[in-house]
Amino acid sequence: MKSTDDKSKKFIDEEIQVSYRKEPLLPKVPVCPDFFDWRGERFTVKVLNSEWCDLARRGNQANNMRPAHLTRAEKLGSWGSGRFYFCVETTTGRIFALYYDRTPRRGDGGNGSWVLLYELQD
């Protein structure tokens, strides 16, 4: 079996729906989901391979703070900015990277969205 370093990335960048066996306490600081639905198929997460976060402000948000406050926000996070990434292996052996984008969407009660970023392939 190849290591994950030897695999290529198939870029997907599509919104997905996720679900949990037990809902997280803080939805804006999510944990790895137990399931996700993509293109009509449900995937069950077997293993969380890695996780990381990027709290950088993007777009207009990157320009609406004083530099001192921006540095602090990139370390601790600020409302509506940042992404939480998860690299997971499913029960079918497929490996995906997905993330939760904390940027609020209109008409969604201030919630962010989940995105399937890429799949690792041989």
In whole angstroms, what is the distance from residue 29 CA to residue 82 CA? 10
pLDDT in tens, 39-95: 999 999 999 999 998 877 555 555 555 555 555 555 555 556 788 999 999 999 999
**Which stretches of 50-90 are DSSP H helices?**
67-76
Which of 2, 6, 33, 5 has its CA nearest to residue 114?
33
In whole angstroms, what is the distance from residue 31 CA to residue 44 CA? 15
**The pTM is what?**
0.77
pLDDT in tens, 14-27: 999 999 999 888 76
Domain coverage including residue 38: 4-121
Q: Total domain count for the chain?
A: 1
87 close to 51: Cβ distance less than 8 angstroms: yes
